[in-house]
A and B are shown apart, each in its own frame.
Chain A
């Protein structure tokens, strides 16, 4: 049974999460794009992050698709997916309106992504425990 169900939007698979900082009552729901080409947890526009009361962390460096690097501000916050929640380092973007979750998000929530473009259904289901090698 899926832990969360989303949709297949024009840009790719999307799902709804709730994001907040120290004060959960400041949290808001956002539709986020699941980008498996992004190795981080969550990336969001800085203007949408301000009202959430996230803790400013500092900076980090990103490796772009062309191999160059670029620095970004970061914050620390909590993301809720259904009844589950995880803390993570959030990359703050000034040049984009998109919210993205990446591989670190799937790893933190221990989810497997299933996308069916024909039916437009996106599911996050519990990932199997790692197999132990003898």
Chain B
């Protein structure tokens, strides 16, 4: 299966909300989770590389959408997208 960047992100968020959010937010708060958008499986780790290594150990095909359990985004940045200067054209 081939996914566009937008499809990976959208599908990853949808799979997480449907299958994992309520369970993980009760028991895995603060961990990183890589959602395999092909198989719909989730791989947890205390850091992003550990989530990636968990997926790799399981021979997960990917691609993955990386999230942080209990947060609205995996990482925080110190900038905004004012004036489109930082806007990512891949996701428009």
Contacts and interface: CB of A to CB of B under 8 A. Distances in A.
A66 B80 contact: yes
Which of A73, A74, A76 is the most central at the interface, judged by chain B CB atoms within 10 Å of its CB? A74
Contact of B81 (A38, A57, A61, A70): A70
User: In which size bucket is the chain B interface?
Assistant: 35 or more
B49 A65 contact: no
Contacts, number: 130
Contact of A62 (B63, B73, B85): B73
A58 B76 CA distance: 18
B89 to A, nearest CB: 5
Interface in B40-92: 47-49, 52, 62-67, 71-81, 84-91
A119 to B, nearest CB: 24
Interface stretch (A2-10, A17-25, A83-91, A122-130): A83-91
Given A58-B66, A60-B67, A95-B85, A71 B9 contact: yes
Q: Is the interface of A mostly helix, strand, loop or mixed?
A: strand
Interface of A: 35, 37-41, 43, 56-66, 68-74, 76, 86-89, 91, 93-96, 102, 104, 107-108
Given A59-B63, A61-B13, 8 more contacts: A39-B76, A58-B63, A59-B12, A62-B77, A72-B91, A89-B52, A93-B88, A107-B47
